[in-house]
Amino acid sequence: MLGIAPTLSEGWRGAMRQIRSSALLVAGLILLAAVPHLESIPWWFWLGVGAAVGLGTLTRRAIRRACQWNSFCELPRSLVLVAGAGWWAMVATANLSLHWLAVGWCWIAAHWLTVALVLTWGLERDGEAIPEMPLGVMHLASGGVVLSPLVQAQQPRQWSCLLLLLLAPCYWLFLPLPTAVKPLLVGVIALTGLIGVSTWQVRVELDAGLLRLNFGGWWGLGRTYVISLRGFSKLGSVRVHEQENEMQWLQLSGTDGELTLPLAIAGISLLGESEQGFLGDQLREAAHLARHDRERDSLGLVSVVLPQGAGILAAVVLIATGAGVLLLLPVTVSPSLGLQWLLGCCVLAPAASYQLWQLLAPQSLLPAIPEAAPVPVGMIGLLLLLVSTPREAPVSLLIGWLALATGACLVTHVRRSPLLTPN
Cα separation, 319 vs 410, in Å, equals 10
pTM: 0.76
Q: Which of 237, 232, 235, 240 is nearest to 276 (CA)?
A: 237
pLDDT digits (tens, 9 = 90+) for 13-46: 444 444 444 445 555 555 555 555 555 555 455 5
Q: Which of 109, 126, 16, 20 is nearest to 62 (CA)?
A: 16
**Could you tell me if 113 and 25 are in contact, meaning their C-beta atoms sit under 8 angstroms apart?**
yes
Query: How are beta strands 294-295 and 199-205 bridged, if at all?
Result: unpaired
Residue 206 confidence class, pLDDT cut points 50, 70, 90: confident
* Mean pLDDT, the chain, integer: 73
pLDDT of residue 329: 85
Cα separation, 123 vs 311, in Å, equals 42
pLDDT of residue 117: 63
- Looking at 293-347, which runs of residues are DSSP E strands? 294-295
Q: Read out DSSP for 29-51?
A: HHHHTTGGG-S---HHHHHHHHH
Q: Which of 54-68, 104-118, 221-235, 260-274 has the highest mean pLDDT?
A: 221-235
SS3 category, 305: helix
Q: What percent of the chain has pLDDT over 70?
A: 60
| Contacts with 123 (C-beta within 8 Å, 6 or more apart), sequence order | 16, 17, 19, 20
Residue 197 confidence class, pLDDT cut points 50, 70, 90: confident
To 5 degrees, how large is the angle CA 110–CA 113–CA 118?
125
pLDDT of residue 285: 82
Range 227-240 average pLDDT: 85
Q: What percent of the chain has pLDDT over 90?
A: 15
